[in-house]
Amino acid sequence: MKTIIQNGTIVTATDIYKADILIENGVISGISSHYAAAPDANVIDASGQYVFPGGIDVHTHLAWPFQSTGTADDFVSGTRAAAAGGITSIINFTNPKKGQTLLDNLQEWKKKGESSLIDYGFHSIISEYNDHVLEELPILADKEGVTSIKLFMAYKGELMVNDREMYKILKKAGEAGIITNVHAENGDIIDELIAESLAKGNTEPIYHAYTRPPITESEATGRALAIAEAAKAPIYIVHVSCADALQKVAEAKKRGVQVTAETCPHYLVLDESYLELQNFESGKYVCSPPLREKWNQEHLWNGIAAGQISTVGSDHCPFLFEGQKTLGRDNFAKIPNGVPGLEDIFSIVYHFGVNEGRISLQKFVEVLSTGPAKTFGLYPKKGSIGIGFDADLVLFNPNVSRVITHKKQYQNVDYNLYEGTEVKGTITLVLSRGEVIVRDGYVIGEQGRGKFLFRNKVSKVQSTVSAM
Ligand code: DUC
Ligand code: ZN
Ligand code: ZN
Ligand code: ZN
């Protein structure tokens, strides 16, 4: 069966044009000014709508054990939420058990991934350095198509690695064609600031922000970039939240460091004042790095427009308010760090970015699809609309508004960060490899249809920089 999408406005990272799309066997087989309806074709009318490449969210924590609890979405609820929100591929973090090899750990995560509705890959987290880890890296890339790993510079005792370990891992990863994600916060200073704060009886959620000030992020960002430079390896800085850290990225790019930077919707739209909401509503907004003073947002948007930031990832790390976030009612340090966001990333970036004039339509596609695909070895299979690409497509009506509410979400959380926010633009149809998986807000695709993404090696980070 063929599918023809007629009369839509196709948007890629470089172009906007009206054309019809022909899909055969899940792949885009033609783009033309017109394809006539045929008896053997399923025809979709996209008049008045944008046709975007499916979103690629490279920062998700589905089914993730963390801080003595675990995230509220698994691969069933999480990938349904993703699909509903226009995301057709995710790359999720693994979480290794102490003493387990990366390869054994990956097999466990691939099993979990089998219930996915959309296509999925993994970044292998390395939290325990040993020589075996180094030996496994080339196998991970060559045999498993896992071409990215993740290191943490915070969460000592649970995830943190030291500088020497980082250097050795980055160096070997770079040689193996693997890009290293880095969570850049100075864990030692933060642990001391938390201890000082609690000793003074400062236990409210706002102290989460005060004990993780921008200097702890910018210092670690600068250090991570220096380590990557010394190791001559590509590096991906996850969740850049503030102007000072972004400045470190800009300086490193100037020196020729192979760095790609990501920010998240919550840093673009929400600010530190949410951590002062009454009745512990503030607990809902605790994530790391923390929400920042509002003036940082303009720097992040400008960073996207100028190409310093190449991707927006959700950092979807959902915890229930009742029973999980409330663990820290009397002590901010016990609030699990993380916020939900996968279902709304597309809407939020479109509304506050494109609608409000901060970025172009092409830039929107670049940071949500093309940039992530190029950075993580999925391009040119995913990440654009062109002949030979998977038919992962989002039909979007820019003239219909919707109000975001947790009452109408697929993600398994009892709240939404953007509750009550009206966003202009609504997803009407989502296709994954040519199959309609979401129609008018309803997920109709079957669980388990998602495929594991065997990714290309990342020998050199391809620049996704372009003007606004
Ligand atoms: N930050 C979060 O908010 N959650 C997961 C881990 C992290 O780094
Ligand atoms: Zn036509
Ligand atoms: Zn992180
Ligand atoms: Zn994260």
Q: What is the mean pLDDT of the chain?
A: 97
d(CA 318, CA 63) in angstroms, rounded, equals 10
Beta strands per DSSP E along 33-108:
41-45, 50-53, 55-60, 65-66, 69-70, 87-93
Determine which residue's CA is closest to atom 7 belonging to ligand 1: 288
| 33 pLDDT tier (thresholds 50, 70, 90) | very high
pLDDT of residue 131: 86
CB 395 within 8 A of CB 385: no
Residue type, 37: A
Q: Which of 60, 61, 127 to mutate to test the pocket of ligand 1 (most atoms within 8 A of CB)?
A: 61
Note the pLDDT of residue 241: 99
Q: How far apart are CA 355 and CA 363, in angstroms?
A: 12
Closest CA to 369 of 352, 389, 399: 389
pLDDT digits (tens, 9 = 90+) for 229-282: 999 999 999 999 999 999 999 999 999 999 999 999 999 999 999 999 999 999
Ligand 4 centroid to 315 CA: how many Å? 4
User: What does the pLDDT look like over 82-116, one tens digit per residue?
Assistant: 999 999 999 999 998 889 999 999 999 999 999 99
Residues 6-21: pLDDT tens digits? 999 999 999 999 999 9
pLDDT at 76 over 50: yes
**Count H helices, E strands: the chain?**
13, 19
Percent of the chain with pLDDT over 90: 97
Q: What angle do CA 110, 105, 237 make, to 5 degrees?
A: 85
DSSP H helices, 366-424, are 371-375
Q: What percent of the chain has pLDDT over 70?
A: 98
pLDDT band at 426 (very low <50, low <70, confident <90, very high): very high
Bridge partners, 8 (sequence order): 19
> Does the model's ipTM exceed the 0.95 cut?
no
pLDDT of residue 466: 40
Residue 153: pLDDT band (50, 70, 90) is very high
Binding pocket residue ranges, ligand 1, CB within 6 Å: 61, 183, 287-288, 317, 337-338
Tokens of 15: 């172009």
Confidence of residue 301 (pLDDT cuts 50, 70, 90): very high
Contacts 24+ apart (CB under 8 A), 398-406: 398/49, 398/50, 398/355, 398/424, 398/425, 399/48, 399/424, 399/425, 400/424, 400/425, 400/426, 400/428, 401/425, 401/426, 402/347, 402/426, 404/344, 404/347
Q: How far apart are CA 408 and CA 157, in angstroms?
A: 38
Of 1, 64, 11, whose CA–CA distance to 361 is shortest?
Answer: 11
The whole-number pLDDT of residue 81 equals: 98
The preferred substitution site among 284, 315, 316, 335 for testing ligand 1, maximizing ligand atoms within 8 Å of CB, is: 315
